[in-house]
């Protein structure tokens, strides 16, 4: 008889229908493979979850077991609703069904969809979607914050279901690490649908049921934060998970290439091959042969401060770099740099040796002044950065030089510059710091001279501490030509490449072999050179030799001169000349009938069309030829004034031009001052280094001015000049070395087709006696280091004259226009309570004259006296073009975090830029002279 009262019966555990899933992909009903991890869902009647505590895995957790026929499965985890298990390796002969047993009761069997392969990739959300459990070889998750590098990164894919392996462990036992268990069938992997090379596929050592597949992210994989990774094996395909992929960084590419290089190949890259048996087929100043087997291109090095130098080929002779600085316009400077970059590239040159940012305001007689960007570190740094950015955009490694304090040519290889830390940080080094940081420049040339008793190219403090340490410069340091003085000391101090030969780094291999230079240092040198090549695209965009764009580049040359020429004097509105009214014009001097002058030395450009004229080899420097660029001011002036009689006198004897001037309506005297690398000027007067006997150009101007009150002087020179005749002439135009479209540009300015807007990037002192060193320090002989005392520290240029109370002939920032401007509604805006010291100067700028023109609004800052800073520092500017009568509301932003440290001083105690509390005065105007500045406001920083 059936009992009606039977006791309550313990239910048996149950497994959901279709409740066995691949643990990685979590796809219901999807197959699972022997050896893999699976999850089983059901009602397992456990009161508390239970975990396996070790390997080998238990076959029972909390009394629950799961079995495939007679084979019990190893368990990782069990709860009332879920069990994670390893599908036993050995299922042959067992039913494809699983049962759960608890307390002697067994569930109904549930069919398992078994397959030899059931790939699933583990994901971070446990659902088999989104970011995958995929690591890089440093075992970091590959996500948006740690993307894989296409072509570089090997990813470790953690997955399951890849079937039988060699060296197969017991069911439930740990995967062996030696020898590794490798899958019998190799899976394939796609990353963003692109097949990836599989480097390893096997069990993840130490795990149970988990596989690891190592795959190289293909170089052509798509990039992004969610690139799908899919694995297939046999005919089975996994779920899709995501990784982040980015193009490889230059550092990653360099590191990868480095691993393939032999020691000899590494050594080959750290010095120039000039003077060896083979030679560069492309000319230039230097050459480093590449390594074709590894795809490493040759490095072809050429100067390019004012156009492509070294006689590489006829190139556009731009106006001087200092003229580019005189534009005070970084977008103009970018165009200037783009000509250099494009023409270097067209000649197959891929390393530029330009970027001369030496602050020659310390020594305006410096023969290389024309290559530089003037005396102010901020203006010079920003203009140089614009040049370099433009050059590197053409896939040419940009350079910045000469690091550091190479501010005179006299005794340049033995000059021992003495300067205090703060002085150099806030002057010459600041120009480099801005140039380096704002341009991502990839090479720095260390200089010939010594700094505080140590040669610059083995100067640990300059190279390792400051450049590579404080500024985090990632590129390479090359020596100036022959500026290396040691092997071990230079290598350890941070020199990465000797130029132009291997006089010292030829011994580097031995120095590494003997342990004097660590292998890691050699690897770092090579890494830096390769990363520079990658960063500027030398591998990806190899130079193809093409014709240069003569027309386009000459147009930029002319524009650069028109923007950079500075009108210094214009008494009685002498300029612009009235073409219609001009009847007779005397043109005098400086070969103005055929040419304009250019500067000499390594920056010398061979102009397209060839020089108009060449003259001797003045001594010093005794090796540089004088080249006159083919642009005739006479012809350009004639074209402007077709109704005037325009006559030329060479000016070699003051009497004849004076007579011509007397007989003419007006006279335009061209004075010129040739300078070159390898020499300094004997004075700030217009001396004549070219001719013997020299032409006394000061006397020439005086004679012409005495004969005609309408005398205009056009100066073709490098930098600051004194002008004893200034009071007797009516107008003066500083044309610098004006480049091969200089004649046209000068004529355009003289006749008002262009309104001058250049501003001096260098102070013109009243006398050579006002310089920090009226007499240039000279060496005792050619080998003994001699001191050059820079005790003026950061007081360079206008800061020096301000600090000494000296009134210059023309102040820094000065330049006239054919129109007039007014500043109104001037205010300083800041937010002192925010703790952020940034400020803006706001004002209305109005063109109050009758012609369109541009003004350069300049902001200077006076620091609290407690800081000991110079009386004022340029901290910002803006060039604004306005139609006559037009006005514009202008804001100049001064950001304390800018690379120029506009609100900071260098604190020697903390070795850092600091902002001092106190009251700051903000000035606004159109030159550094106090007379041209208004107080825009004051700032209180801190308490
Ligand atoms: C100059 C460098 C120049 C190098 C290669 C040296 O004499 O000082 O500025 O880049 O030659 O021409």
Question: Residues 303, 407, 480, 680: which is the catalytic one?
Answer: 480
Q: Which residue's alpha carbon is nearest to atom 5 within ligand 1?
A: 285
d(CA 213, CA 734): 70
Is the bond into 748 cis (omega within 30 degrees of 0)? no
Q: What is the pLDDT of residues 682-694, one digit of tens each?
A: 999 998 989 988 9
Query: How many angstroms is it from 212 CA to the middle of ligand 1?
Result: 55
Residue-level pLDDT at 3? 45
Q: Which residue's alpha carbon is nearest to atom 2 within ligand 1?
A: 480
Q: Do residues 62 and 78 touch, judged by C-beta distance below 8 A?
A: yes
Which parts of the chain have pLDDT scores under 70? 1-9, 277
d(CA 304, CA 399): 9
Is the CB–ligand 1 distance for residue 602 below 6 Å? yes
Is the CB–ligand 1 distance for residue 480 below 6 Å? yes
Count of CB atoms within 10 A of residue 513's CB? 11
Query: How many angstroms is it from 480 CA to the middle of ligand 1?
Result: 6
Q: Residue 310 CA: which ligand 1 atom is closest?
A: 12
Sign of the torsion formed by the C-alpha atoms of 261, 267, 273 and 276? negative
Is the CB–ligand 1 distance for residue 343 below 6 Å? no
d(CA 915, CA 869): 12
Whole-angstrom CA distances from 6 to 1, 9, 12, 578 are: 12, 8, 17, 125
Residue-level pLDDT at 2? 42
Query: How many angstroms is it from 755 CA to the middle of ligand 1?
Result: 36
**3-state class (DSSP) for residue 399:** strand
Pick the closest to residue 362 from 773, 785, 787, 811 (CA basis).
773
**Ligand 1 pocket: which of 286, 300, 303 to mutate (most atoms within 8 A of CB):** 303
Chain-centre distance of CA 494, in angstroms?
19
Task: Give the N- to C-terminal CA distance of the chain in Å, as an integer.
Answer: 101
Determine whether 136 is an active site residue: no
Strand order in the sheet with 351-352: 286-288, 299-302, 351-352
Q: Residue 309 CA: which ligand 1 atom is closest?
A: 12
Radius of gyration of the chain (CA): 37
Q: Which residue's alpha carbon is nearest to atom 10 within ligand 1?
A: 353
What six digits make up the tokens of 501?
Answer: 């030969």
**Ligand 1 pocket: which of 370, 480, 623 to mutate (most atoms within 8 A of CB):** 480
Q: What is the pLDDT of residues 441-455, one digit of tens each?
A: 999 999 999 999 999
Query: How many angstroms is it from 429 CA to the middle of ligand 1?
Result: 19
Q: Which residue's alpha carbon is nearest to atom 11 within ligand 1?
A: 481
What six digits make up the tokens of 342?
Answer: 């494009």
Is the CB–ligand 1 distance for residue 285 below 6 Å? yes
Residue-level pLDDT at 160? 96
Q: What is the pLDDT of residues 731-751, one digit of tens each?
A: 999 999 999 999 999 999 999
The overall pTM is greater than 0.95: no
Query: How many angstroms is it from 31 CA to the middle of ligand 1?
Result: 71
């Amino acid at each position: 008889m059936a009992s009606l009262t039977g006791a309550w019966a313990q239910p048996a555990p149950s497994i959901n229908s279709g409740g066995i899933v691949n643990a990685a992909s979590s796809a219901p009903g999807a197959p699972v493979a022997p050896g893999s991890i699976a999850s089983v869902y059901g009602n397992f009647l456990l009161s508390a979850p239970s975990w396996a505590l070790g390997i080998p895995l238990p076959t029972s957790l909390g009394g629950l077991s799961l079995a495939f026929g007679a084979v019990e499965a190893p368990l990782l985890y069990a709860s009332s609703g879920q069990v994670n298990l390893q599908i036993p390796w050995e299922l042959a002969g067992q039913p494809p069904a699983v049962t759960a047993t608890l307390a002697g009761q067994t569930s109904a069997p549930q069919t398992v969809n078994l397959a030899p392969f059931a790939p699933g990739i583990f994901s971070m959300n446990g659902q088999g979607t989104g970011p995958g459990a995929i690591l890089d070889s440093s075992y970091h998750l590959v996500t948006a914050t740690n993307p894989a590098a296409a072509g570089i990164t090997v990813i470790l894919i953690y997955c399951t279901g890849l079937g039988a392996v060699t060296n197969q462990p017991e069911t439930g036992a740990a995967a062996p690490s030696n020898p590794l268990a490798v899958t019998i069938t190799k899976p394939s992997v796609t990353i963003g649908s692109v097949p990836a090379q599989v480097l390893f596929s096997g069990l993840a050592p130490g795990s149970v049921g988990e596989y690891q597949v190592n795959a190289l992210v293909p170089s052509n994989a798509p990039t992004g934060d969610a690139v799908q990774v899919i694995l297939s094996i046999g005919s089975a395909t996994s779920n899709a998970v995501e990784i982040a992929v980015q193009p490889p960084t230059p550092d990653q590419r360099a590191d990868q290439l480095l691993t393939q290089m032999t020691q000899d190949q590494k050594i080959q890259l750290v010095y120039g091959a000039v003077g060896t048996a083979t030679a560069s087929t492309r000319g230039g100043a230097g050459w480093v042969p590449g390594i074709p087997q590894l795809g490493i291109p040759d490095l072809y090095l050429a100067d390019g401060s004012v156009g492509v130098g070294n006689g590489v080929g006829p190139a556009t002779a731009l106006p001087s770099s200092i003229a580019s600085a005189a534009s005070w316009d970084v977008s103009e400077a970018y165009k200037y740099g783009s000509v250099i970059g494009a023409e270097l590239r067209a000649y197959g040159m891929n390393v530029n040796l330009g970027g001369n940012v030496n602050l020659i305001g310390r020594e305006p007689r410096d023969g290389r002044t024309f290559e530089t960007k003037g005396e102010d570190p901020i203006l010079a740094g920003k203009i140089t950065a614009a040049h370099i950015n433009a050059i590197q955009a053409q896939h040419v490694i940009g350079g910045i030089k000469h690091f550091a304090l190479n501010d005179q040519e006299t005794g340049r290889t033995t000059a021992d510059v003495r300067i205090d830390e703060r002085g150099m940080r806030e002057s010459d080094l600041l120009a480099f710091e801005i140039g380096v940081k704002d341009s991502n420049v990839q090479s720095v040339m260390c200089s010939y001279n010594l700094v505080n008793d140590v040669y610059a190219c083995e100067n640990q403090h300059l190279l390792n501490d400051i450049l590579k340490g404080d500024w985090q410069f990632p590129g390479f340091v090359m020596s100036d030509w022959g500026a290396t003085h040691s092997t071990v000391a230079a290598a350890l101090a941070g020199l990465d490449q000797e130029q132009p030969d291997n006089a010292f780094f030829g011994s580097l291999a031995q120095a590494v072999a003997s342990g004097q230079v660590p292998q890691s240092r050699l690897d770092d040198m090579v890494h830096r050179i390769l990363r520079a090549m990658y960063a500027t695209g030398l591998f990806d965009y190899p130079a193809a030799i093409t014709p240069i764009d003569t027309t386009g580049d000459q147009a930029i040359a002319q524009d650069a001169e028109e923007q950079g020429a500075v009108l210094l004097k214009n008494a009685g509105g002498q300029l612009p000349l009235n073409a219609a009214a001009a009847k007779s014009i005397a043109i005098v001097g400086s070969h103005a009938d055929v040419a304009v002058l250019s500067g000499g030395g390594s920056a010398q450009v061979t102009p397209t069309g060839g020089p108009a004229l060449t003259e001797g080899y003045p001594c010093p420097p005794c090796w540089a030829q004088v080249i006159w660029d083919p642009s005739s001011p006479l012809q350009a002036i004639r074209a402007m004034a077709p109704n005037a009689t325009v006559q030329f006198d060479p000016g070699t004897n003051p009497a004849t031009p004076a007579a011509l001037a007397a007989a003419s309506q007006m006279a335009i005297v061209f004075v010129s001052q040739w300078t070159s690398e390898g020499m300094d000027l004997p004075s700030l007067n217009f001396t004549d280094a070219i001719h013997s006997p020299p032409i006394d150009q000061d006397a020439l101007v005086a004679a012409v001015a005495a004969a005609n009150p309408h005398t205009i002087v056009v100066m073709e020179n490098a930098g600051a000049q004194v002008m004893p005749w200034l009071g007797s002439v009516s107008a003066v135009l500083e044309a610098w070395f004006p480049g091969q479209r200089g004649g046209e540009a000068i004529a355009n300015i003289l006749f008002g087709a262009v309104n001058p807007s250049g501003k001096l990037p260098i102070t013109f002192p009243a006398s050579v006696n006002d310089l920090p060193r009226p007499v240039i320090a000279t060496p005792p002989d050619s080998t003994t280091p001699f001191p050059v005392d820079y005790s003026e520290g950061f007081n360079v240029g206008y800061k020096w004259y301000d600090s000494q109370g000296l009134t210059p002939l023309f102040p820094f920032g000065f330049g006239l226009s054919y129109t007039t401007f007014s500043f109104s509604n001037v205010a300083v805006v800041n937010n002192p309570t925010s703790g952020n010291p940034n400020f803006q100067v706001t004002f209305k700028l109005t063109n109050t004259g009758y012609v369109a023109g541009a003004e350069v609004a300049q902001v200077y800052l006076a620091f609290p006296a407690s800081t000991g800073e110079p009386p004022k520092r340029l901290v910002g500017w803006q060039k604004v073009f306005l139609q006559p009568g037009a006005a514009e509301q202008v804001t100049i932003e001064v950001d304390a975090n800018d690379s120029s440290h506009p609100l900071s001083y260098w604190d020697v105690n903390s070795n850092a830029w600091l902002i001092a509390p106190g009251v700051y005065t903000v000035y606004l105007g159109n030159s550094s002279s106090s007379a041209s500045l208004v107080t825009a406001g004051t700032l209180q920083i801190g308490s």
